[in-house]
Amino acid sequence: MTDETASGTPSLTVRDNRTGREYELPITDGTIKASDLTQIRLNDEDGGLAAYDPGFVNTASCRSSITYIDGDHGILEYRGYPIEQLAEKSSFLEVAYLLIHGDLPTREEYDEWVHQITYHTFVHENVKGFMQGFRYDAHPMGMLMASVGALSTFYPESRNITDPQVRDIQIVRMIAKLPTLGAWAFRHAQGKPYVYPDNELSYTANFLAMLFKMSEQKYEADPRLVHALDVLFILHADHEQNCSTNAVRSVGSSQVDPYSAVAAGIAALYGPLHGGANEAVLRMLRRIGSMENIPAFIEGVKAGNERLMGFGHRVYKNYDPRAKIIKQAAEDVFEVTGVNPLLKIAQELERIALEDEYFVTRKLYPNVDFYSGLIYEALEFPPEMFTVLFAIGRAPGWLAQWLELVQDKEQKIARPKQIYTGQRTIPFTPAVERWA
């Protein structure tokens, strides 16, 4: 029952049928405080009522002014700006500034920001040696995670997270160096020499050069491909409290340095249900192989044998707005590279899923990963690199969220409760007696 207190504050009246007692819990911003539940208890021994919420499906963990999502209406906004407009009219570095600083830059602020990022793209030579130590077939995401974590040892002052200037320089370093580390992880798997950054190129063009440059003096990627990748970075730049951002915040809540917190985010993104999904989409499309295999595949999904990768989202119960923009970017890229033959299978899967009762009733629509893998493949990235691209795009979001976290007086070290289901107080018998 929802009510208002005498003071006019919205509240929730709860009756505990175990005791017959009633409690009035204030409602703020559509939430009750989980800690207010602890007063609802059977007796003094009882720790009080708690919320059980595996996967945090209905628990707000923070207040945030960074990203707004309305999943039912397919709306995504960064700092209030609609994603469609940012993808069309902005650039990745401008969006990164917006996310981190909360507002769009003036011309001077933008020039300084781009200059700072450009001149921090180099990494310490020992980082290179460290990366070269990986096995020849190391997954680039594992290399990225480890090398970002290792940066904390190169910048020990980063532990001073209360100093705004120290924080700012780590943010610049991280956004600047991630493409270098990502490109080197890619070159490593190919057995090619690592390419140093070219400060004359834009952020995204430089990344492509570090990936693909061979013996030419200067590598200049097709501007249409540079633009498409820049748009993909914008689309991935933040997505409020997703799994990896929650990991960054959770680890960051221990007041560790931002490199370690972001390395935790990269670890979370590595998983197939999060950033690894576009790699899984491509593998799925290849396995389906041809149009006539689609009906049997869909039947298998509906029977619960497997998931249609790239479909469904915890938050979007309508078309993922990023998927629409990506579909357009895919067409632009295919104009340059030629059409990926898997596109037809993807389009047919989408057509069926948008009509089929199983997917319609569960509100399963294509998400950001459904088409992004096809674009990445057309850009000649191997599937292992897809999540690395996601990580580079997501870095400004992780860092904006980390910055918000460390300045939020309401935040505490993350430490959820549990419901203990094991045994209690069993007398221990030493091994020699148990095995006798």
Q: What letter does residue 69 receive in the DSSP assignment?
A: E
312, 367 contact by CB (below 8 A)? yes
Whichever of 180 and 242 has its CB closer to ligand CMC, that residue is 242
Catalytic residue among 124, 274, 332, 408: 274
The amino acid at 102: G
Cβ-based neighbour number of residue 254 at 10 Å = 11
* Residues 253-282: x where in contact with ligand CMC by CB under 6 A, - otherwise, as a string: --------------------xxx-x-----
Cα 71 versus chain centre, distance: 16
Which listed residue (79, 167, 177, 239) binds ligand CMC by CB under 6 A?
A: 239
Which listed residue (252, 312, 396, 397) binds ligand CMC by CB under 6 A?
A: 312
- Determine the size of the site formed for ligand CMC (CB under 6 A): 20
Which listed residue (147, 242, 250, 260) binds ligand CMC by CB under 6 A?
A: 242
Identify whether 369 is a catalytic site residue: yes
Q: How far is the CB of 277 from ligand CMC (least distance, A)?
A: 3
CA nearest neighbour of 233 among 266, 251, 207: 207
Q: How far is the CB of 316 from ligand CMC (least distance, A)?
A: 8
Identify whether 101 is a catalytic site residue: no
Cα 202 versus chain centre, distance: 23
DSSP 169-230: HHHHHHHHHHHHHHHHHHHHHHT-PPPPP-TTS-HHHHHHHHHH--SSSS----HHHHHHHH
Whichever of 40 and 298 has its CB closer to ligand CMC, that residue is 298
Whichever of 14 and 237 has its CB closer to ligand CMC, that residue is 237
Separation of alpha carbons 98 and 90, rounded Å: 10
* Residues 335-374: x where in contact with ligand CMC by CB under 6 A, - otherwise, as a string: ---------------------------x-x--xxx-----
Whichever of 64 and 121 has its CB closer to ligand CMC, that residue is 64
Separation of alpha carbons 19 and 418, rounded Å: 24
Whichever of 239 and 249 has its CB closer to ligand CMC, that residue is 239
Identify whether 239 is a catalytic site residue: no
Catalytic residue among 188, 236, 239, 313: 313
As beta bridge partners, residue 4 has 10
Where do runs of H (alpha helix) occur along 91-163?
92-101, 107-118, 125-132, 140-154
Q: Does 307 participate in binding ligand CMC (rule CB under 6 A)?
A: yes
Question: Mind telling me the catalytic residues?
Answer: 274, 313, 369
Q: Which residues bind ligand CMC (CB under 6 A)?
A: 239, 242, 273-275, 277, 301, 307-314, 362, 364, 367-369
